[in-house]
């Protein structure tokens, strides 16, 4: 099996996570350091083992030239959805759940090129479902904002 | 013995309560709907619905989750048959013969076969659930702290190998999950660990938020990155949805064989419905008296695949409920639901206090199969239309459900932040072939393992020899080794079964010379 270029990033990320947690562990009281340290050593060992396996694969079979992981990636669509989701998270607490959900659904569906009629049907259905299931049935008090 | 029969009977009476019946209908319909949508999976559906079960009684909550599980496994066959796109990987083999039947103008017959076989596969799998689960649970009575430590390690080694292309990456995912499970107050001393001054993390990472993020929100990102295409028009079901007496007689042995295969695959931790469907399909072809029909729309092929994948459901609950070892993603989420209800897998589920709840769930699981048959047969045409729902509609709708679901747990915005963070983490993990199920299981098993390890070391005054002091410990250590090595065998088994069924090598996608007609 060829070595994947993206796996270099995976190894770096795992080493970084291990190092970050290790740096935090040594700041803990000595009595509670053992267990996290044990896991950090295991994670470090496994990552190193994977790194060796990667190097062996690269020598034996070569390196995958194309990035297959993101072959059909649509950057505008993906990051558009991600930004809308983050804005939705920020809005929920300030303008209330129902208003922000209404805006999020309409904007997202139109952004994803859904026609107006299905957009309206989907928005009303989801809001109704949430109201019936969470507000009426489960009695969850959803965030209220400046509107209601 | 008489007591057990009495509790079983009480379980059935309890399961017949109107609220339970209502939830079975709702859960099954929701599961079928999720299953027939090619972008969604059974694990995602169960994770998404988990918060809705919090306020329910434990048995009702578990019945809902079980109903979604069974419904989703069957639901995958609807889109497999009508639009040649399996709703879940568990129906991949059904698409081979099912779609050929649709092309021949027999979609109704194919759907009836799938529904009928799924019903029998699921129903028969309940037999093993009833008989083996209490027996296996008794075994854990011999477990003490050291054994619990090894058991949690065994659970992790098993799940790490499942659905991972690389075993090492699976183990790395598990270790990452273990590290994340240490966030919060130390379980022995109560001192803060990795909380970064935020009291929200005192109780650790909320497992439900992590589950929703890793399984549901990450799927939203997976859908969002791909070009949205219109799905194929579902073929209209114009023929009669039934089988003749001869046809039913013909598929009977196939169903029984597939039930045994599916059940064993389900009990084996590390194997799942996606393997079972191909094995069931291949076995039905090997034993068929009408081999010439395979590849041209064989009802035995559909029955073999569908009975096997639904037989997995009951079997897979056995290690989950008795040992706390879920063999695949869906059961890992289900176990999360069990723990959230304050229940621990093992013999305590069968003691005087919880037996009524457990047997009500089992009885509910039996009844769900009947609802699946009824709803499946009556609603096939409607579900077929739902299966065409565009990803563009699913993306924002599922996002809203993820948000409201995670908020409903503690009514805290931080839960949504955690869910979204795990959603991004889950997306990246799936892109780079890491294992999200291993992270979830580590979050659940991590505290159990840590408690077991530290209690054992406290008893032995710090000597690690206690971890190797009993026969059960050694058996569990051996199982851990088997757990690490089993994915190699399971991957080979799945590849071989898929290759035999489709005639295509799953690795290089080159056709291999087999006697199956793929035209």
pLDDT in tens, A27-40: 988 888 888 998 99
**Listed residue (A18, A10, A85, A84) closest to A51, CA to CA:** A10
Contact across the interface for B179 and A143, Cβ inside 8 Å: no
Distance CA B33, CA B397 (A): 14
**Bridge-based pairing state of the strands B192-193 and B184-185:** antiparallel
Give me the residue from B168, B189, B416 closest to A53, CB to CB. B168
Distance CA B455, CA B440 (A): 23
Which of chain A's residues have a Cβ under 8 Å away from the Cβ of B395? 81, 108, 112
For residues B368 and B63, is the Cβ–Cβ distance under 8 A? yes
**Which of B23, B37, B153, B400 would best serve as a mutation to test chain A binding (most A beta carbons within 10 A)?**
B400
pLDDT in tens, A95-127: 889 999 999 999 999 999 999 999 999 999 999
Residue A147 is predicted with a pLDDT of 65
Structure letter (DSSP) for residue B236:
P
Counted across chains A and B, CB pairs separated by less than 8 A come out at 152
What ipTM score was computed for the predicted complex, to two decimals?
0.93
**Listed residue (A23, A6, A14, A20) closest to A42, CA to CA:** A14
For residue B511, the SS3 value is strand
Bridge partners, residue B504, by sequence: B511
Residue B420 is predicted with a pLDDT of 95
Distance CA B121, CA B304 (A): 9
Q: What is the per-residue burial (b if ≥16 Cβ within 10 Å, else e) of B37-65?
A: bbbbbbbbbbbbbbbbbbebbbbbbbbbb
pLDDT in tens, B115-137: 999 999 999 999 888 888 888 77
**Which of B27, B149, B152, B175 would best serve as a mutation to test chain A binding (most A beta carbons within 10 A)?**
B175
3-state helix, strand, coil split of chain A in percent (to 5) is 75, 0, 25
Q: Stretch A50-72: mean pLDDT, rounded?
A: 82
Contact across the interface for B411 and A24, Cβ inside 8 Å: no
Is 80 exceeded by the pLDDT of residue A17? yes
Distance CA A54, CA A2 (A): 8
**Listed residue (B340, B393, B55) closest to A116, CA to CA:** B393
Residue A83 is predicted with a pLDDT of 96
Residue B185 belongs to what H/E stretch? strand B184-185
Contact across the interface for B395 and A140, Cβ inside 8 Å: no
Residue B439 belongs to what H/E stretch? helix B436-459
Give me the residue from A50, A53, A74 closest to B225, CB to CB. A74
The residue in chain A having the minimum alpha-carbon distance to the alpha carbon of residue B191 is: A32
Distance CA B254, CA B256 (A): 5
Residue A110 is predicted with a pLDDT of 95
Bridge partners, residue B184, by sequence: B193
Q: Give B244's contacts (C-beta < 8 A, 6+ positions apart).
A: none
Give me the residue from B396, B420, B432 closest to A10, CB to CB. B432
Domain range annotation of chain B: 2-227+244-502
Residue B408 belongs to what H/E stretch? helix B391-410
**Listed residue (B6, B1, B2, B82) closest to B356, CA to CA:** B6
């Amino acid at each position: 099996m060829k070595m994947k270029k993206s796996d270099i990033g995976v190894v770096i990320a795992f080493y970084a996570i291990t190092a970050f947690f290790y740096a935090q562990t040594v700041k803990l009281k000595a009595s509670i350091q053992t267990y996290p340290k044990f896991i950090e050593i295991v994670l470090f060992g496994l990552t190193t083992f994977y790194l060796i396996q990667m190097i062996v694969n690269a020598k034996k079979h070569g390196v995958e030239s194309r990035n297959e992981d993101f072959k059909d990636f649509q950057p505008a669509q993906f990051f558009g959805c991600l930004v809308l989701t983050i804005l939705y998270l920020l809005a929920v607490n300030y303008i209330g759940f129902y208003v922000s959900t209404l805006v999020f659904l309409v904007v997202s569906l139109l952004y994803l090129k859904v026609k107006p009629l299905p957009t309206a049907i989907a928005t009303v259905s989801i809001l109704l479902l949430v109201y019936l299931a969470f507000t009426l049935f489960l009695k969850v008090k959803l965030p209220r904002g400046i509107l209601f | 013995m008489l007591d057990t029969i009495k509790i079983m009977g009480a379980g059935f009476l309890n399961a017949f309560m109107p609220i339970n019946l209502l939830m079975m209908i709702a859960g099954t319909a929701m599961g079928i709907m999720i299953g027939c949508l090619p972008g969604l999976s059974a694990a995602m559906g169960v994770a998404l619905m988990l918060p809705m079960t919090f306020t329910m009684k434990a048995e009702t909550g578990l019945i809902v989750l079980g109903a979604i599980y069974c419904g989703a496994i069957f639901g995958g066959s609807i889109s497999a048959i009508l639009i040649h796109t399996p709703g879940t990987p568990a129906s991949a083999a059904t698409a081979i013969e099912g779609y050929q039947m649709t092309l021949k103008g027999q979609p109704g017959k194919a759907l009836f076969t799938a529904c009928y076989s799924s019903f029998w596969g699921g129903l028969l799998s309940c037999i093993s659930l009833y008989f083996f689960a209490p027996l296996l649970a008794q075994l854990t009575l011999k477990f003490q702290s050291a054994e619990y430590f090894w058991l949690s390690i065994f659970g992790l080694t098993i799940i790490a190998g499942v659905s991972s292309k690389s075993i090492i990456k699976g183990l790395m995912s598990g270790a990452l999950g273990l590290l994340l499970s240490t966030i919060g107050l130390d379980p022995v001393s109560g001192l803060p660990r990795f909380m970064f001054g935020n009291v929200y993390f005192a109780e650790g990472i909320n497992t439900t938020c992590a589950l929703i993020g890793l399984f549901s929100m990450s799927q939203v990102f997976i859908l969002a990155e791909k070009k949205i295409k219109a799905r194929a028009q579902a073929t209209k079901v114009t023929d009669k949805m039934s089988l003749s007496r001869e046809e039913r007689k013909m598929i009977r042995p196939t169903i029984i064989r597939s039930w045994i295969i599916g059940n064993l695959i389900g009990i084996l931790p590390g194997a799942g419905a996606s393997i079972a469907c191909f094995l069931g399909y291949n076995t039905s072809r090997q034993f068929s008296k009408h081999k010439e029909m395979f590849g041209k729309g064989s009802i035995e092929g559909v029955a073999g695949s569908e009975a096997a994948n639904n037989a997995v459901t009951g079997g897979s609950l056995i290690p989950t409920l008795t040992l706390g070892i879920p063999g695949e993603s869906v059961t890992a989420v289900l176990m999360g639901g069990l723990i959230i209800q304050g229940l621990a897998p093992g013999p305590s589920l069968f003691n005087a206090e919880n037996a009524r709840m457990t047997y009500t769930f089992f009885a509910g699981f039996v009844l769900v199969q009947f609802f699946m048959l009824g709803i499946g047969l009556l609603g096939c045409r409607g579900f077929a239309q739902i299966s065409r729902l565009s990803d563009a509609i699913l993306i924002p709708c599922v996002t809203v459900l993820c948000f409201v679901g995670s908020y409903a747990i503690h009514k805290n915005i931080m839960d949504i932040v955690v869910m979204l963070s795990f959603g991004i983490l889950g997306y990246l993990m799936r892109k780079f072939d890491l294992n999200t199920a291993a992270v979830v299981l580590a979050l659940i098993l991590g505290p159990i393992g840590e408690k077991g390890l530290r209690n054992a070391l406290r008893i032995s005054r710090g000597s690690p020899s206690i971890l190797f002091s009993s026969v059960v410990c050694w058996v569990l250590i051996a199982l851990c080794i088997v757990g690490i090595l089993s994915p190699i065998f399971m991957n080979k088994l799945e590849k071989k079964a898929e290759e035999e069924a489709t005639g295509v090598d799953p690795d290089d996608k080159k056709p291999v010379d087999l006697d199956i007609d793929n035209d």
